[in-house]
Chains A and B, each alone.
Chain A
């Protein structure tokens, strides 16, 4: 199965195309597409150039939870869940104390 993803124009956030043809940051809202329907959905997505940038198709698993699949699954999982590096905000010195 496939889904259409892109980045939101105004802030670059990862978004997914829903069955209604709108864009949501929530992958649970993403339209799951049969391979035969995927290209048409992507073509339609390209018209949303005032909303998104760089729409493309990704492979997703058939399980209920939205799970990236296929060769790019690591990349798409990171896009879905965020960096796997921990948070630099947790670095010491959370508030500024002048010396």
Chain B
């Protein structure tokens, strides 16, 4: 893992101290709420329905055991005993008091964490493959590049007041577990015939009220030129992006308005003026940063796996192959049946930190599916890990299955939401459990958003629900066929809006159709492509 240098430490300490003073000034009246609001947002502090919400950045979703323990301590001492892992690989606390937040930020700084740029029209936390550095299909490790982007974008003076927020995702694997097609910039690591690393560059993807798949604007960018090229993209967007209309301010609108070719030409022109100069990353710097992300040593293999069927199912569904012999990737779904997706109690976080420290190189990842991962688990420890996770309600064998539901906080917490998400997810999950459909059906993504901002990523769900307000009542639109990873696609509306109860029934019915119709090994989108939407429509709306 990357470790702070003096510059990182000084930056974070200075900002933490500054925010303590700003909170104090708000409390004694030296700052009005209008003056204070942009300052608190720059430090990840929102005001939601019932309380303040603090969003803490988890750089590209990578945590150490000590950091996760600290997150647990904050949950216990300053919140209500739990935290909520988000679709952007961060954590949110739903109940901190404003007066306590400076102390929380001090604690975070002590473990090299902060809440800077988790809000506002800035470059947000870069996201990546949660299996980075471990995945068997990986072409190159994206984490060193994510770290370079983090250093370049933190407090970048030119890009601190963009037309709108800006999100970058990086994948190092062709499977693309980072959903690069629906980010403002999506970067795909590639190697040429001589083994040199480069990037395929995609721009203008996003969800929200205008979902768009990113356009590829460059087939190959030399890796050392990454920061210069990102600067060129951001510079074009910063100057030409709309600031007159909040809903048309994202880069996807600019790319569409200009046309991808014209946008790319403008970027290339800007890039030509700066390439090969100060922003070219020196080879020794790439090497220095890459050294923080060395591959784990070989682990001890497990000669014979336990015969326990529960262990076998957990291993088949939640454990993924690792590129290093004797190690495995363990997905820990925060999705026990009926649970709020993405929530973890302080005790659960501490248990996972202990397991990471003892069996998995002290490292944890957060996924955009709101789960945690032990990326480097020693294979010989799998039975012990399974047993410990089982005792804490963390061994549900549903990673990538229907009940591994993604849900935004929705109207239960969020000031922007129009409808609830989490209770719908909980009911669907319980219904799937009762019907035994997780085991009966193959892989499928179910995602729920409580408003058109789409934090629950419903647009790219194979089965998506969007909650809307219809004359004071919660109504849900059902979409099918979205894809987040790889060849991204936006889901299509299946039919008229549904009540909350009917939406729950509808999702379970769609999973049932999938279970019945799927050919062996087929995932939902493949079945949908093969049989079309009519069987699903009939199951939801009748003949």
Contact = CB atoms under 8 A, between A and B. Distances in A.
Interface in A46-99: 49-50, 53-54, 70-75, 78-79, 82-86, 88-89, 91-99
B33 interface: yes
Interface of B: 26-29, 32-33, 47-52, 72, 80-82, 97-99, 336, 338-340, 343-348, 350-351, 354-355, 358, 384, 388, 391-394, 411-413, 419-420, 422-423, 426, 469, 471-474
A31 interface: no
A91 B344 contact: yes
Given A50-B29, A92-B392, A74 B340 contact: no
A49 B32 contact: yes
Contacts of A7: 47, 50-51
Contacts of A83: 50, 412-413, 422
Interchain residue pairs A-B with the least CB separation, the first 7: A92-B393, A11-B97, A93-B347, A12-B51, A83-B412, A93-B392, A88-B82
Interface in A3-51: 7, 9-14, 49-50
Most buried by A among B29, B49, B72: B49
Nearest to A82: B50
A17 B518 CA distance: 58
Contact of A78 (B32, B343, B345, B412): B412
A70 B423 contact: no
A53 B47 contact: yes
B47 A89 contact: no
Nearest to A14: B50
A27 B56 CA distance: 32
A75 B419 CA distance: 8
Contact of B340 (A50, A86, A92): A86
Given A85-B412, A92-B336, 18 more contacts: A9-B26, A10-B99, A11-B52, A12-B97, A12-B98, A49-B33, A53-B33, A74-B473, A78-B411, A83-B50, A88-B81, A88-B82, A88-B339, A89-B81, A91-B343, A93-B351, A99-B354, A99-B388
Given A86-B340, A98-B354, A79 B50 contact: yes
Contacts of A73: 472
16 contacts: A10-B98, A12-B98, A13-B50, A49-B29, A49-B32, A50-B29, A53-B47, A54-B47, A79-B49, A84-B412, A88-B81, A92-B336, A93-B393, A96-B350, A98-B350, A99-B351
A5 to B, nearest CB: 11
Q: Main SS of chain B's interface residues?
A: mixed
Nearest to B418: A75
Of B99, B336, B340, which is in contact with the most chain A CB atoms at under 10 Å from its CB? B340
Contacts, number: 124
Contacts of B50: 7, 12-14, 79, 82-83
Nearest to A52: B33
Given A12-B47, A96-B350, A98-B354, A89 B340 contact: no
Nearest to B385: A99
Given A75-B411, A83-B412, A70 B98 contact: no
A90 B422 CA distance: 16
Contacts of A82: 50
Contacts of B355: 99
A84 B33 CA distance: 29
Given A10-B97, A83-B413, A94-B347, A89 B471 contact: no
Contacts of B358: 99
A10 B348 CA distance: 29
A85 B426 contact: yes
B82 A91 contact: yes
B339 A91 contact: yes
Contacts of B51: 7, 11-13
Nearest to B29: A50
B344 to A, nearest CB: 7
A79 B32 CA distance: 24
A35 B273 CA distance: 62
Given A84-B412, A85-B426, A91-B344, A99 B384 contact: yes
A11 B29 CA distance: 16
A53 B344 CA distance: 29
Contact of A12 (B52, B393, B473): B52
B53 to A, nearest CB: 8
Contacts of A92: 336, 345, 348, 391-394
